[in-house]
Amino acid sequence: MRAKAVSTNTPDASEPPGRRSYTLNGQTLTVAKPDSGLYLVATPIGNLGDITLRALEVLAGVDIIACEDTRITRRLTERYGISGQLKPYHEHNAAMARPKILEHLAKGAAIALVSDAGTPLISDPGFKLVREACAAGFRVVALPGPSSVLAALSVAALPTDRFFFEGFLPPKRTARRARLAELSRLDATLVLFESGSRVQETLADLAAIMGARDAAICREMTKMHEEISRSTLSELAQSAETLETRGEFVLVIGPKADGTQTMSADEVDGLLRDLLARDSVKDAVAHAVEVSGKPRREIYARALELARKAGGRGQD
């Protein structure tokens, strides 16, 4: 699909509303309708200039743009003079909206799916729509582009040959620490999303469980107030009190260092308490030995003491 420039200044006033076109650098470019199908269009994660030309052509040409929040997507479409029909598709209305989208596809419509920012289906509800569209035999096309996961990995200065994307951690502290204890076993760089309201608590938990690792805090990526902080998790957690918490965060944590990391006594106690809340002493000790770098005899004795004080479980 090729775009055609029809004006170098203002749009043609004689053309009716709803035309398939977009405006770029003062030029209005008309496009053809794409073939029928579902188009997964990556959109900017902050800076609206990060949109691809192909994305603009598809967004201008489709019959419907399905989006999480029409207000957010409208900022993008208005920036580029796109007058397409915006329809909400988010976790709260997906069950009702999905059959309607499939009906439009069955009638030959071209539909774009976008998230509020970045690549669709990454921590958003698009998966079920794609699965059902594929099952029904409709064409599904990916338009690659911005991704906060890959952007954060690029600037974190940490190994990228193997990484694991976790997304958002559980909001409750006990569940969050339990999940972090599981993630700490992975021999890979970890990528997490976190909200500003919880980022300080999450950094404290990360430091308690993986404190020896290098990490990066990526805030407001590609936006005016972008900020990247690189250090160890322990140091990042200690300085978290002065951290600007407004905005969106991606946390990147490096893999376990060569050799065995050593945790402090307080860090070991914190880890054991979280493990003992859901595991037997035997299982808690096995994992704490692996993570902490401490001798098994020392960890076992401490686990028994903590379990006794908590009125906890037996050795099995």
For each of the chain's 316 residues, which pLDDT tens digit applies? 545 444 433 333 333 445 799 999 999 999 999 999 999 999 999 999 999 999 999 999 999 999 999 999 999 999 999 998 999 999 999 999 999 999 999 999 999 999 999 999 887 779 999 999 999 999 999 999 999 999 999 999 999 999 999 999 999 988 998 899 889 889 999 999 999 999 999 999 999 888 779 999 999 999 999 999 999 999 999 999 899 999 999 999 999 876 545 677 877 888 888 788 877 888 888 878 877 778 888 888 988 988 888 774 444 4
44 burial (CB, 10 Å; 0-12 / 13-18 / 19+) is buried
Sheet of 21-24, strand order: 4-7, 27-30, 21-24
Torsion angles phi and psi, residue 125, rounded to 5: -85, 20
**Residue 125: DSSP 8-state:** T
> From CA 251, how far away is CA 272, in angstroms rounded?
24
**Is 181 in contact with 274 (CB distance < 8 Å)?**
yes
- The pTM for the full model equals 0.78
Torsion angles phi and psi, residue 115, rounded to 5: -100, 175
155 burial (CB, 10 Å; 0-12 / 13-18 / 19+) is middle
Q: Where are the alpha helices (DSSP H) in 156-280?
A: 173-183, 199-210, 233-238, 265-276
**Is 279 in contact with 287 (CB distance < 8 Å)?**
yes
Q: What letter represents residue 205's amino acid?
A: D
| Helices 296-309, 281-292: crossing angle, 10 deg rounding | 130
- The token duo for 44 is 């900017």
Buried b or exposed e, range 129-139, using 16+ CB within 10 angstroms: bbebbeeeebe
> From CA 131, how far away is CA 129, in angstroms rounded?
5
